Amino acid sequence: MTSTHQDIPAALAQTLRDAQRIVVFTGAGVSAESGIATFRDALTGLWSRFDAQALATPEAFRAQPDIVWGWYEWRRAQALRANPNAAHHAIAALARHVPELLVVTQNVDDLHERAGSARVAHLHGSLHAPRCSDCAAPHTLSSSVTEEAGEGRRIAPPACAVCGAPVRPGVVWFGESLPADAWSGALRAAEQCDLLFSIGTSALVYPAAELPQRALAAGATVVQVNPAMTPLDRQAHCNLHGGAADVMPRLLAAAWPAL
């Protein structure tokens, strides 16, 4: 079933009302309408001479810590300025209508929490929880970002207060393991849910992209929300082609019109 932005299928509204356990799996597209660039669009302007996939690695941080730290401070500044959008709010509201709902996000911002979602598993860490690259001691950043954190700026990472090694962003880079608790909780939820939404993700990065597959294999309904096609289009039961901040509130209104 493929839908344009006009219609929410009645059968989907019924599936939503009947669902007991929902997983909402999100990617960068859910924060796009809050003004946070998606991962694969995050290197615009002065950052455009770099390749996001090459910067998001431990090797890049070791070789060019000031470029990588500067990029993450620029993105942290964007996240601090941003507010949750209608998609984050609709997902938080949805949790109040179903017995069990887990948000599993690949995003490193905290917009789901700021919209009021209580159960959020962060598979790829957080922009707001840096740690020592050597001894892993947590490092506290100020809640504002220095004026230095402009587009394309190199910034030297702070030194760890415990051992002096460079502090690194608290995110999961390519080649690194996902946080064990977040990953095992997400897998369990995907295998036990009756409905999984995959929202605003290119579904290219593994192991996160396995979650919709696991849900499908366990017999769940899988619904995708994305303005573009992804590898999941062929398998999802329903593809809602549109922006998340437009589609998610309409989905909620279709299922519970009295609200």
Q: Which residues are catalytic?
A: 124
60 membership: H or E segment, kind and range: helix 58-63
What is the C-alpha to C-alpha distance for residues 85 and 97, in angstroms, rounded to an integer? Answer: 19
Would you list the DSSP string of 34-59?
TTPPPGGG---GGGTTS-HHHHSSHH
Taking residues 53 to 82 in sequence order and writing x for each that binds Zn ion by CB under 5 A, - otherwise, the string is: ------------------------------
Nearest to 109 by CA among 134, 135, 138, 88: 88
Cα 55 to chain center, whole Å? Answer: 18
Instruction: Select the residue interacting with Zn ion from 63, 135, 218, 229 (CB under 5 A).
Output: 135
Residue 169: is the preceding peptide bond cis (ω within 30°)? no
Nearer CB in complex with Zn ion: 11/162: 162
Indicate left, alpha or beta for 123 from its phi (over 0: left) and psi (-120 to 50: alpha): alpha
Q: Does position 132 bind Zn ion by CB under 5 A? A: yes
Contacts of ligand BJW in 72-101 (CB under 6 A): none
What is the C-alpha to C-alpha distance for residues 138 and 153, in angstroms, rounded to an integer? Answer: 24
What is the C-alpha to C-alpha distance for residues 201 and 27, in angstroms, rounded to an integer? Answer: 4
In DSSP terms, 198 is beta-bridged to 25, 224
Instruction: Select the residue interacting with ligand BJW from 34, 106, 126, 221 (CB under 6 A).
Output: 106
Q: Does position 162 bind ligand BJW by CB under 6 A? A: no
Nearer CB in complex with ligand BJW: 17/81: 81
Would you list the DSSP string of 65-98?
HHHHHHHHHHHHHHHHH----HHHHHHHHHTTTS
**Residue 228, binding choice from ligand BJW, Zn ion, none, Cβ under 5 to 8 Å by partner class:** ligand BJW
Q: Does position 258 bind ligand BJW by CB under 6 A? A: no
Contacts of ligand BJW in 187-246 (CB under 6 A): 200-202, 204-207, 225-228, 230, 243-244
Taking residues 18 to 47 in sequence order and writing x for each that binds ligand BJW by CB under 6 A, - otherwise, the string is: ---------xxx--xx----xxx-------
Taking residues 142 to 161 in sequence order and writing x for each that binds Zn ion by CB under 5 A, - otherwise, the string is: ------------------x-
Instruction: Select the residue interacting with ligand BJW from 23, 108, 111, 115 (CB under 6 A).
Output: 108
Q: Is there a contact between 195 and 167 (Cβ–Cβ < 8 Å)?
A: no
Q: Does position 57 bind ligand BJW by CB under 6 A? A: no
Q: Which residues are at the interface with Zn ion (CB under 5 A)?
A: 132, 134-135, 137, 160, 162-163, 165
Q: Which residues are at the interface with ligand BJW (CB under 6 A)?
A: 27-29, 32-33, 38-40, 56, 106, 108, 124, 171-177, 200-202, 204-207, 225-228, 230, 243-244
